[in-house]
Amino acid sequence: MLTLTPVRPVLAIAVLAVLSAAASLSPDPRGAAAEAATPGKATVKIANFDFGPATITVPAGTSVTWTNNDDDAHSVVADSKAFRSAPLDTGESYSFTFATPGTYAYHCGLHPQMHGKVVVTR
């Protein structure tokens, strides 16, 4: 499930440097897009029994935050059991920092028909 490719440190630093340079140097006229691209952070909304977006792609080191907008409780559980949130009541959030590149499939521990995926790049 997890792709545990060893990261070459020099390349990783170079990629991060390019990413942060891009974030700080290019003034983005679309404010929302600039916010969504905040380095190190990403969000997933839980609404109407769906994870949105169902798949997100983030660089390693990103902290992903799930927020439950439903009236029912949900949870976030990695298929591999690598992470598991407490139950999230309405309005509650859970964050997990993805240090290692790979594809992380997850589901809701209460409603296992709800699926999502975090793709972590170098």
Binding stretches for another protein (CB under 8 A): 48-50, 70-73, 75, 79, 86-87, 89-90, 105-107, 109-113, 115
Shortest reach from residue 31's CB to another protein, in Å: 31
CB of 109 to another protein, least distance (A): 6
If the CB atoms of residues 59 and 109 are measured against another protein, the closer one turns out to be 109
Instruction: Give me 5's structure tokens.
Output: 């490719």
Copy the structure tokens of residue 96.
């997990």
Nearest approach, Cβ of 53 to another protein (angstroms)?
A: 17
Burial of 85 (0-12, 13-18, 19+ CB in 10 A): buried
Which is nearer to another protein, 15 or 82 (by Cβ)? 82
Which tokens is 110 given? 């209460």
User: Taking the alpha carbons of 77, 82, 86, 91 in that order, is the dihedral positive or negative?
Assistant: negative
Nearer to another protein (CB atom), residue 35 or residue 72: 72
Grouping H, G, I as helix, E, B as strand and the rest as coil, residue 25 is helix
